[in-house]
Chain A
Amino acid sequence: MTPNPYLWLVPLLPLAGAAINGFLGRRSSKRAISAIALVFCGLAFAMALYLAAGFSSASAPYSCDFAHWLRSGNFQVDFSFYLDQLSLVMLLVVTGVGFLIHIYSVGYMWDDDGYYRFMAYLNLFMFFMLTLVLAKNYLVMFIGWEGVGLASYLLIGFWFTKDAAAAAGKKAFIVNRIGDFGFLIALFLMIKYFGSLDFTHVFAAVRLMPAETAGASTLTAIGLLLMVGAAGKSAQIPLYVWLPDAMEGPTPVSALIHAATMVTAGVYMVARSSAIFDRAPTAMTVVAIIGTLTALFAATIGIAQTDIKKVLAYSTVSQLGYMFMACGVGAFSAGIFHLMTHAFFKGLLFLAAGSVIHGVGGEQDMRKMGGLRVYMPWTFLTMTIATFTIAGFPPLAAFFSKDEILWKAYSSPYGSWVYWLIGVITAFLTSFYMFRLWFLTFFGDYLGGTAESPVPRLPVSTLAVPTHGHHSDHSSDHGHGHEPHESSWMMLGPLVVLAVLSIVGGWVGIGDHFGRFLAPVFQTGGSSELVETAAESSGKWTETLLTLISVTAAFLGLYFAYVLYHKRRELPARIARSLGGLYDAVVHKYYIDEIYVALFVKPLIDGSTTILWHGIDQGVIDAAVNDSADAAREVSDKVRHMQSGNLRSYAGWVAAGGAVVIAYMVWMGVTH
């Protein structure tokens, strides 16, 4: 373990930016705010590059003990940071993509009244996310974990005057908390059985334990509980419901938090805990099953959505399912590989979608778009690259990562052809709905032209409520033209960079360079090491065949989308009508939200209202106070009759009192 005294700077630089913008931003100029935000985020990125340049696998991992924290008997937790190959990858992804999105936000949110708040929250998010990936123990990771949940809540509900946004923020936070509950119990179990939360200690202790057979105790429990936390944070079944609602937030938020970085925290955590999962096969199987099912499930919902951001949201859920599938079959480095490429292309997709929305003046419904490739050439170009990438066409990035996952799902000792088959079907669906989006948005005739003056989504009031940014764009405010327009270069620049990364980002996977780079982290001595190297021996021909099948699936998706959404546009409606109820269920997201409300939300609210509010608060507490006041009034009402103004009654009372005293004294005298 090599000490590195500068690691702590990486998270704390964005925190400084957040503090400055948060406290002083209200009265600062927009240029100053942007400069602060970009400078501090950029410095973090520069430090990440510097650390990457100086990184050597021989002296890895690096650690940095920043400050003491908890000391309680034998239990000790400090603020410590840790840099190994896995955290380095995450660090570069988070700071790199984060920095690009910061630049994009400057253009996107420039005209918003809450601009300084937005930039402060973005920096705050960077701080928490970097704390999460650089943590050396589970508790510091948990700080980051909770913090990104908080930042997500703040940013989803950024336009807090809009009810839907506020509700979506709450929903995200609460569903996250359910996952965090599982995470916490896992931490408690770790403290109980290992006496420490530090990665090195825990994993060393775990590696000494034998692999648990199915259904056996501690490690399986810890693994399952960690998965609960990951399911909450990374939007897997059954805790994915917050992610589509989170699209209420501004598009840079969707890109950064809900595509590239925060939602991948769950995958990172599972990968980091690979030693635990490796010893608990049951938990790994559960992870794989959840991931696979989520991938398929979300893809089926995605094909029927009409809001461009919702399609991308379900796509994110689906792609995260792929990553968990990879981790579940023991191919942790494949999962991280896909995480990296996903950050590039999904971030690009969201930012481009933001550019589209911006260009058409706030419209998010794809049925009112069309033919935009003429008006927005650069957005069209970059989005095309991203769409082909996500579909899995070679030689773009996702081809390599997705194929690696599918191959490992088939060939790993933990895997099975069922995973592979579902993965291929999901790939077909992914390609289909992405190209559907592509065709609907950029081809055909522009269907939104009738909405001349772009209707604001919020009622514009005279108070300084924050207006959403994509209503008005760059500073050369040419009065919202009737036709769509391209975005400024502040927004297009990051798109181009991400597009380039989407093209080349997968090439690190050729020859398994990426896998070998990460191998020391996942060296567990258990079966997953075999998984990492299993590809070599198990038959190159099988692998090539499977690759061809998945590429074919991508082409099929493109073909079907072309037919249904470009050539014969009347077909989708006819198919929808003929499918009837099934189609309705898909469009309504299988009514999952309604089921959750009926099962959990409504009983909880009703229970709280009747039992806690009416029953205890009003019935017991208020009643106690009111009744004691009433009792006081009753008593004094009876007693006041003593004050009658009548002299003789007073004398009567005095005489009676005197008799009592005399009697008492006589009694005392007699009995003693």
Chain B
Amino acid sequence: MFHLILFLFFGAICVAGAVNLLVQSHPINSALSLVVVMASLAGEYLLLGGEFVAAIQVIVYAGAIMVLFLITIMLLNAGKEERTKGSRVAILIGVPGVLIGGVLVTWTLLTRPNAQTVPIGALKGDSGSIARLLFHDFLLPFEVTSVLILIAIMGAVVLASRPEAVARGPRKDGR
């Protein structure tokens, strides 16, 4: 009971945030809605028992990635969306398509007799266990992701820099 109430509480905030993202016309509002979604998702993770996941959700997603989005929005001075000629296909075919797909999946999920229940906090999600798994069984992917991040950094630097700055190299006076 308690579990259900908490689930519905966090779920409602989540959905509200998602819908708000769709509805808002200024990207900054959409970004802030997305932060709300992520925070509520962290709450859902906690309900399931994944402490570590909830923590890194808040730290990485809401704390780093969304900040990056906000910085970019401010950097590019993105304004309200203008009404331009869109794509008819996207609206006419895509939207009904995805809605139909979603309805079908939901219907399937809710009508299956295979409704196993998940108790509150069922997951053994403490940092120790995860760390043990991460550094033993998943060591290689872990190291690879560090390389991945390095590449992403380099890529981002190159892509975002001004063209003449790259060509000219660092300036002589160290600035």
Question: Residues of A with Cβ closer than 8 Å to B?
Answer: 644, 646, 648-649, 651-660, 662-663, 666, 669
Residue from B87, B96, B104, B105 in contact with A649 in the complex, judged by beta carbons closer than 8 Å: B87
**Residue pair B93, A666 in contact (C-beta under 8 Å):** no
**Residue pair A649, B100 in contact (C-beta under 8 Å):** no
Roughly how many angstroms separate A653 CA and B90 CA in the complex, as a whole number?
Answer: 7
**Residue pair B101, A653 in contact (C-beta under 8 Å):** no
B91 within 8 A of A: yes
Given contacts A644-B87, A649-B87, A669-B108, contact A663 B101 (CB under 8 A): yes
Q: For chain B, residues 69 to 116, give those with C-beta under 8 angstroms from any C-beta of chain A.
A: 86-98, 100-101, 104-105, 107-108
A651 contacts which chain B residues (CB < 8 A)? 90, 94
**Residue pair B98, A653 in contact (C-beta under 8 Å):** no
Given contacts A655-B101, A659-B98, contact A649 B108 (CB under 8 A): no
B97 contacts which chain A residues (CB < 8 A)? 652, 655-660
Which 3 A-B pairs give the minimum distances between C-beta atoms?
A: A652-B94, A652-B90, A656-B97
B93 contacts which chain A residues (CB < 8 A)? 652-653, 655-656
**Residue pair B89, A649 in contact (C-beta under 8 Å):** yes
Roughly how many angstroms separate A510 CA and B92 CA in the complex, as a whole number?
Answer: 111
A648 contacts which chain B residues (CB < 8 A)? 86-87, 89-90, 94
Roughly how many angstroms separate A660 CA and B93 CA in the complex, as a whole number?
Answer: 12
We find that the number of chain B residues with CB closer than 8 angstroms to chain A is 19
Q: Which of A657, A662, A666 has the most CB of B within 10 A?
A: A662
A646 contacts which chain B residues (CB < 8 A)? 87, 89-90
B87 contacts which chain A residues (CB < 8 A)? 644, 646, 648-649, 652
Roughly how many angstroms separate A662 CA and B100 CA in the complex, as a whole number?
Answer: 9
Dominant secondary structure of chain A at its interface with chain B: helix
Residue from A652, A657, A660, A669 in contact with B89 in the complex, judged by beta carbons closer than 8 Å: A652
Roughly how many angstroms separate A93 CA and B87 CA in the complex, as a whole number?
Answer: 96
Residue from A644, A652, A662, A669 in contact with B101 in the complex, judged by beta carbons closer than 8 Å: A662
B94 contacts which chain A residues (CB < 8 A)? 648-649, 651-656
Roughly how many angstroms separate A660 CA and B101 CA in the complex, as a whole number?
Answer: 8
Query: Would you give the shortest CB distance from A647 to chain B, in whole angstroms?
Result: 8
Chain A to chain B contacts (Cβ below 8 Å), 11 pairs = A648-B87, A649-B87, A649-B89, A649-B90, A649-B94, A653-B89, A653-B94, A654-B94, A660-B97, A662-B101, A666-B107
Question: Residues of B with Cβ closer than 8 Å to A?
Answer: 86-98, 100-101, 104-105, 107-108
Roughly how many angstroms separate A437 CA and B94 CA in the complex, as a whole number?
Answer: 100
Roughly how many angstroms separate A663 CA and B97 CA in the complex, as a whole number?
Answer: 10
A669 contacts which chain B residues (CB < 8 A)? 108
A649 contacts which chain B residues (CB < 8 A)? 87-90, 94
A662 contacts which chain B residues (CB < 8 A)? 101, 104-105
**Residue pair B86, A658 in contact (C-beta under 8 Å):** no
A659 contacts which chain B residues (CB < 8 A)? 96-98, 100-101, 104
Roughly how many angstroms separate A649 CA and B86 CA in the complex, as a whole number?
Answer: 9
Query: Would you give the shortest CB distance from A663 to chain B, in whole angstroms?
Result: 6
B88 contacts which chain A residues (CB < 8 A)? 649
Residue from A644, A655, A663 in contact with B98 in the complex, judged by beta carbons closer than 8 Å: A655
Query: Would you give the shortest CB distance from B22 to chain A, in whole angstroms?
Result: 14
B98 contacts which chain A residues (CB < 8 A)? 655, 658-659
Q: Which of B86, B88, B89, B92 has the most CB of A within 10 A?
A: B89
A656 contacts which chain B residues (CB < 8 A)? 93-94, 96-97
B101 contacts which chain A residues (CB < 8 A)? 655, 658-659, 662-663
Query: Would you give the shortest CB distance from B102 to chain A, in whole angstroms?
Result: 9
Residue from B89, B92, B95, B108 in contact with A666 in the complex, judged by beta carbons closer than 8 Å: B108
Roughly how many angstroms separate A654 CA and B94 CA in the complex, as a whole number?
Answer: 8
B96 contacts which chain A residues (CB < 8 A)? 656, 659
**Residue pair B104, A663 in contact (C-beta under 8 Å):** yes
Determine the residue in chain A with the shortest Cβ distance to B108: A666
Query: Would you give the shortest CB distance from B119 to chain A, in whole angstroms?
Result: 28
B91 contacts which chain A residues (CB < 8 A)? 652
Roughly how many angstroms separate A648 CA and B89 CA in the complex, as a whole number?
Answer: 8
Roughly how many angstroms separate A656 CA and B90 CA in the complex, as a whole number?
Answer: 9
Determine the residue in chain B with the shortest Cβ distance to A663: B104
**Residue pair B104, A666 in contact (C-beta under 8 Å):** yes
Roughly how many angstroms separate A644 CA and B85 CA in the complex, as a whole number?
Answer: 13
Roughly how many angstroms separate A651 CA and B94 CA in the complex, as a whole number?
Answer: 7
Query: Would you give the shortest CB distance from B34 to chain A, in whole angstroms?
Result: 19
Query: Would you give the shortest CB distance from B121 to chain A, in whole angstroms?
Result: 32
Query: Would you give the shortest CB distance from A430 to chain B, in whole angstroms?
Result: 95
Roughly how many angstroms separate A656 CA and B101 CA in the complex, as a whole number?
Answer: 8
Give me 13 other A-B pairs in contact (C-beta within 8 A), A646-B89, A652-B94 excluded: A644-B87, A651-B94, A652-B87, A652-B90, A652-B95, A653-B89, A655-B101, A656-B93, A656-B94, A658-B97, A658-B101, A659-B100, A666-B108
Roughly how many angstroms separate A651 CA and B93 CA in the complex, as a whole number?
Answer: 10
A652 contacts which chain B residues (CB < 8 A)? 87, 89-95, 97
B100 contacts which chain A residues (CB < 8 A)? 659, 663
Query: Would you give the shortest CB distance from A541 to chain B, in whole angstroms?
Result: 114
Roughly how many angstroms separate A266 CA and B68 CA in the complex, as a whole number?
Answer: 106
Query: Would you give the shortest CB distance from B87 to chain A, in whole angstroms?
Result: 4
Q: Which of B86, B100, B107 has the most CB of A within 10 A?
A: B100
Query: Would you give the shortest CB distance from A672 to chain B, in whole angstroms?
Result: 14
Roughly how many angstroms separate A235 CA and B87 CA in the complex, as a whole number?
Answer: 83
Determine the residue in chain B with the shortest Cβ distance to A658: B101
Roughly how many angstroms separate A451 CA and B104 CA in the complex, as a whole number?
Answer: 105
Roughly how many angstroms separate A652 CA and B90 CA in the complex, as a whole number?
Answer: 4
Roughly how many angstroms separate A646 CA and B86 CA in the complex, as a whole number?
Answer: 9
Q: Which of A649, A652, A657, A658 has the most CB of B within 10 A?
A: A652
Roughly how many angstroms separate A662 CA and B87 CA in the complex, as a whole number?
Answer: 24
Query: Would you give the shortest CB distance from A136 to chain B, in whole angstroms?
Result: 84
B108 contacts which chain A residues (CB < 8 A)? 666, 669
Determine the residue in chain B with the shortest Cβ distance to A667: B104
Roughly how many angstroms separate A648 CA and B88 CA in the complex, as a whole number?
Answer: 9
Determine the residue in chain A with the shortest Cβ distance to B105: A662
Roughly how many angstroms separate A649 CA and B87 CA in the complex, as a whole number?
Answer: 6
Roughly how many angstroms separate A651 CA and B95 CA in the complex, as a whole number?
Answer: 10
